[in-house]
Structure 1
């Protein structure tokens, strides 16, 4: 469905109960959002938040976070009306997700001279892997790793710092920012394969049924109309594609 859905009073009440659309923007994933030169948020999730607020005819307030885990934690205090998070079973009891608008890979940063070549090589007894607390890949690895130990840092960037400082075996994260680190420092490389595909979606607090239905159709339209891909390209994410 690519036609605009009716904007009913219930949709407005669900998406902007305070009269303002409060959007949680996560700087922890630079593929989706980052601070621009003037300090203001930019990226594909910012583009989508602005488009939704404009469509609803309400003001937009962007509430920024430095980690996805902190976005999820802020749900308890009712801090936001929409968020941009990876679809994860651990979150679905409290959040209603759209279908994904971007799919990105979770993989590992390792030392260049490391013996590890594939993600499966890193699930061994005694190995320690840095992760950002509450990130999608933290939740995924928590469920799936059988032997390796996770060392959690406050944010994704702090996880890379911990990998360096503590001489850990790898840092888990989103491929693009990890690759930027490896490109800038020959001591590191990124594994060619991935341990998961991270499905990034728009999210609303569960129980807001009108909001959930509207956002699902909104994301479909934004993909069909090319808005998502255009925003990715405009923000320098040329190696990332909109989800099908």
Structure 2
């Protein structure tokens, strides 16, 4: 049975309450309940499971985008977060293995001459991305010729794009497809430009964070093996993503 000894638990959860940072920048994984205003989604389910297993009270703090969530765990406002694995963030955050994989994709207007992902990285193209998102960090490293234009968050990408900003919108495939339903004259480029691996992150500044990460990693593996993640995806109607291997 996976467990944490009292000493390790006190370094992982120094206040005695598991403080969880929820990233609302990816509605596939978390959103606010329309009635209660409380966060809900796969990440909330996983956090509640861990708190129950450790017999701890739990509190949630919601953040509008991944960047703010990352800063919260780095500054010890929260004990763990749910964000995409990224090497830049990895300087300060220790990740579990991924629990779910999501595709990053491009969207253009019907009139665009661009027909495939490989067309995008060319001089003159301007890609609209959510500031501080996993795909912003990825494209910042990978794009050599096109320019990046950053929206305030992931949810603003399509609206900014339709206001005439940029000629390519980038983001989580399912979110782009959902946002595009509000407009005419848009199409997705086929395939994906990246796979986004979502995981639990904890601050490396904590004592014995490696041991805590090992515990959380074993819990994530158990949740994948037991079907918990797959069932949560069905319950929250998450489509187009898959349980990470």
Query: Same fold per TM (> 0.5)?
Result: yes
Match of 2:33 in 1: 36
- Contact 1:103 1:199 (8 Å CA) reproduced: yes
SS at match of 1:17: coil
Map 1:118-157 onto structure 2 (within 5 A).
118-157=116-155
Distance 1:224 1:40 in 2: 28
**What are the Cα deviations for residues 93-116 of structure 1, in whole angstroms up to 9, with x where unaligned?**
111101000011111121122221
Name which of structure 1's ranges 103-112 and 135-144 shifts more when overlaid on structure 2: 103-112
State the partner residue of 1:91: 89
**Aligned match of 1:159 in 136, 157, 163?**
157
State the TM-score, normalizing by the size of structure 1: 0.94
What SS does the aligned partner of 1:23 have? strand
**2:73–2:81 Cα contact (<8 Å) kept:** no
Matched, 1:5 2:6: no
- Count of matched residue positions in the alignment of Structure 1 and Structure 2: 241
Q: Select which of 16, 21, 24 maps to 1:19.
A: 16
CA distance change for structure 1 residues 129 and 230 in 2, over 3 Å: closer, same or farther?
Answer: same
**Residue in 2 aligned with 1:176?**
174
**Residues 182 and 190, structure 1, Cα contact 8 Å, conserved in 2:** no
Q: Which runs of 5+ in 1 are unaligned?
A: none
Indicate conservation of the 8 Å contact 2:23/2:64, yes or no: yes
| 3-state secondary structure, aligned to 2:156 | helix
- SS of 1:6's equivalent in the other structure is coil
- Could you tell me how far apart the structure 2 residues matched to 1:15 and 1:51 are? 16
Structure 1 window deviating more from structure 2 (48-57 vs 35-44): it is 35-44
Further displaced range: 96-105 or 157-166: 157-166
RMSD: 1.4
Kindly state the Cα deviation for residue 14 of structure 1 after the two structures are TM-superposed.
2.9
CA distance in 1, matches of 2:88, 2:154: 19
Using the TM superposition, give the Cα deviation of residue 81 of structure 1 relative to its aligned residue in structure 2, in angstroms.
0.6
Distance 1:51 1:192 in 2: 37
The residue number in structure 2 matching 1:239 is: 240
CA distance in 1, matches of 2:7, 2:124: 53
How many angstroms apart in 1 are the aligned matches of 2:11 and 2:101?
27
The range that moved more, 179-188 or 83-92, is 179-188
Contact 1:118–1:191 (Cα < 8 Å) also in 2? yes
5+ unaligned residues in a row in structure 2: which ranges?
none
Matched, 1:224 2:225: yes
CA distance in 2, matches of 1:7, 1:29: 30
**What's the offset of the Cα at 1:171?**
1.3
TM-score, structure 2 normalization: 0.94
- SS class of match (2:243): coil
The superposition leaves residues 124-165 of structure 1 with CA deviations (integer Å, 9 ceiling, x where unpaired) of 111111111111100100000010100112211122222122
